[in-house]
Chain A
Amino acid sequence: MNLTVNEIYKSFGEKNVLKGISLSAQSGKALGILGRNGAGKTTLIRIIMQVFGADAGAVLLDGKPLNPEIVKIGYLPEERGLYPKQKIMNQLLYFAELKGIDKKTAKMTAEKYLSELQMEQYKNARLDTLSKGNQQKIQLIASLISNPDIIILDEPFSGLDPVNAGMLKNVVKELIKEGKMVLFSSHQMNYIEEFCDDIIILNGGRAVLSGSIKRIKRSYARNIIEILTEHNEKALSVFESACPSFVKNAEILDGKLTVTLFDENKKSDLIKFVADNIPDVDGINVKEPTLAEIFIHYTEGCV
């Protein structure tokens, strides 16, 4: 399946929240939706889920308008929300039934995930008796209870300890492997890099960047090289005493010897120079921008 969002516009009163957003996502892949607080992520998600309509634009699934009554969408909202005073199993079944899933199937799905996330013993407990991490697991189950084809996860791992986060990560990875389409929104860039091939960055209601993470990173200049060695000072002194003509600058940054070239095509020359002059080298690589740096680069300034 292929989800396409075409030129979505949305305003609330005077405030233009979305100004022509387009994106596309495929089954079996995760798309990272990034943006600062207030960038319009939740509004976009709600339009995809058809909580309300867009002023202009379309949400298409395989070329046809998306109908959430036929194609199930699972949603884990950033603002966690379930009934605090209800028994876990009760409310999971209720949410499944609202989506048109019969009770028996829903119960099987619920039990499968409860055991997978080691929550079986709580199925008749009230939600508010659970720890935050466990509530989060229930929230994830609630979003998966209808066995959706499209899954929207908004900050699924915030506030979890590493063991619980690992458990949830496995579930999400499994879903992607099963061929589900995952839309993933988070401010924790490491998770985005772990799950998503593609990202879209929203800022001020516009998509300021979209595409594959790999390609985006490669699109940055590749003339900054990190040389990994135990003897940074000694290596730096080599560059200082006999600096080759293609090297613009050499310095120690964040504990790494970082060399800037005039021309990124001179990387082989640098490797040769290093091999000849610096005896103890662990590795040489192009310094790529991190996702966080890219994010800040594109979203600094106005939201």
Chain B
Amino acid sequence: MKQFVKVFRFEFLNIIKSKPFIFLTILLLFCSTVALFFPRFSNGAKPPEIGDGSPQKIAVCDKTGKLAEYIKENMDSYEITICDENTAETLLTEKKVDASVIITSPLTYTYSVKDMGMYDTTPDIINELLQIKYRTIKLSEFGLTEEQITEIQSSVAVPEYKIVGNDQAQSFLYTYILLFMLYISVIAYGQMIAQSVATEKSSRAMELLITSAKPESLIFGKVLGTGCAGISQMVTVLLWSVICYKINAPFWKENFFVTSIFDMPLKLVCYTAVLFVLGFFIYAFLYGSLGSLASKMEDIGPLTGPLTMIMAGTFMVPIICISSGNVDTAVMKILSFIPFCSPMAMFARIAMSTVPPIQIAISIIILIASDIGIGYIAVLIYKRGILMYGKPPKLLQVLKQLKK
């Protein structure tokens, strides 16, 4: 235990005192500060208005001959040119107008534009206008008065939303960001642990280490020391971001995306922390033990490649599922109990749907058990790996040896 504490402290201090680590932490703090203070100096941070990016000048060609003037009257915020089809095309290619509308029948038209803006609502406006016009004509044919028609046309449904579980639209963004953070941190710190073990081997510092300390102390100290350094970096950056956000909260209140991240429910933050830490160490132990099989730094890539692939896979499935909005699929349910994938899958499910507490508990218990089990296997691999030099063994050979 004493040795573990020594190794832990040595590894932890080594990392947090290292220049790249300090540089990266400062960079992240700087970026979050700049990003979160930005709206204070740029008149708030409104999300793009609906209608932004719509063309301003439109050429309209009306083949029905009845709708052009009606459109022009009702779209007075646009600069509308009424012309024939050829002129409309020429105007568009010569960039004298931003878009052209060629109406072919009361309900059909072609909308031509060079690049379709994300928030271009022009077609919606035209749809609406054409539909109203069509219905008005049809309804008056049925003998309704103008008043009756106006009443029918102006009646709209007024819904009121009550969300019992999670609002997926709100939770999507932070789920995505947190999944991504876990993925990046596991890969970055996992690789760091593997490299650190391999450096000790290649510099032969291992020769002294194994004769000075127990392998259990060495790998646990290294994995937990490096892991805690990484976690403390993330916590620092996140806490700082929260502080910056709180200072600037009034400037952010109109930005739905950002408020949704920082107004994440506290319960979810706790679940995230537990799942992330447990998931992180499963991979960290494996990276550490794989690093012990390398004799040179070049061996690390091929050795840790498969693990990184597994990690990428367990990242992709939840990402695809949350993007499709369908989080509670059978696949996700199964994945949320498999130790390698459960941190991401279970987290995505908790964040974006309603998961029975018993399922969360089971998933966490499985994770804790796997952390202990994988820690144990990692020690076995490490014990053998650190004494082996030369070509790294195949994974199969290692497993065979472990059986003995």
Contact = CB atoms under 8 A, between A and B. Distances in A.
Contacts of B200: 83
Contact of B204 (A79, A94, A97): A79
A49 B207 CA distance: 11
A217 interface: no
Nearest to A81: B204
Interface in B154-211: 200, 203-211
- Of the listed residues B6, B206, B207, the one surrounded by the most CB atoms of chain A closer than 10 A to its CB is B207
B291 to A, nearest CB: 15
Contacts of A46: 211, 387
Contacts of A82: 203, 205, 208
B6 A94 contact: yes
Interface string B4-25: 0011001000100000000000
Contacts of B210: 51
B20 to A, nearest CB: 12
B212 interface: yes
Nearest to A82: B205
B6 A98 contact: yes
B2 interface: yes
A83 B205 contact: yes
A98 to B, nearest CB: 4
A98 B207 contact: no
Interface residues of B, number: 19
A80 B6 contact: no
Nearest to A100: B2
Q: At the interface, is chain A mostly helix, strand, loop or mixed? A: loop
Interface in B342-392: 387
Contacts of B213: 98
A80 B209 CA distance: 12
A189 B7 CA distance: 39
Interface in A242-270: none
A99 B212 CA distance: 6
B3 interface: yes
Interface in A75-106: 75, 77, 79-84, 86, 94-95, 97-100
A137 to B, nearest CB: 15
A68 to B, nearest CB: 8
A46 B210 CA distance: 9
A75 B14 CA distance: 24
A79 B207 contact: yes
A5 interface: no
A73 interface: yes
Interface in B7-63: 7, 10, 14
Interface in B274-292: none
A158 B211 CA distance: 21
A100 B387 CA distance: 23
B208 A97 contact: no
Interface string A13-57: 000000000000000000000000000000000100101100000
A153 to B, nearest CB: 13
A75 B207 CA distance: 9
A110 interface: no
Contacts of A75: 207-208, 211
A142 B208 contact: yes
Nearest to A127: B203
A77 B7 contact: no
Contacts of A142: 208
Which 10 A/B pairs are nearest by Cβ-Cβ distance? A81-B204, A77-B207, A98-B212, A79-B204, A81-B207, A98-B213, A81-B205, A75-B211, A49-B211, A97-B6
Given A98-B3, A99-B212, 14 more contacts: A46-B387, A51-B210, A81-B203, A81-B205, A81-B206, A82-B205, A82-B208, A83-B200, A83-B203, A95-B208, A97-B6, A98-B7, A100-B2, A143-B208
27 contacts: A46-B211, A51-B211, A52-B387, A73-B211, A75-B207, A77-B204, A77-B207, A77-B208, A77-B211, A79-B207, A80-B204, A81-B205, A81-B206, A81-B208, A82-B205, A82-B208, A83-B200, A83-B205, A86-B14, A94-B6, A95-B212, A98-B6, A98-B7, A98-B209, A99-B212, A100-B3, A143-B208
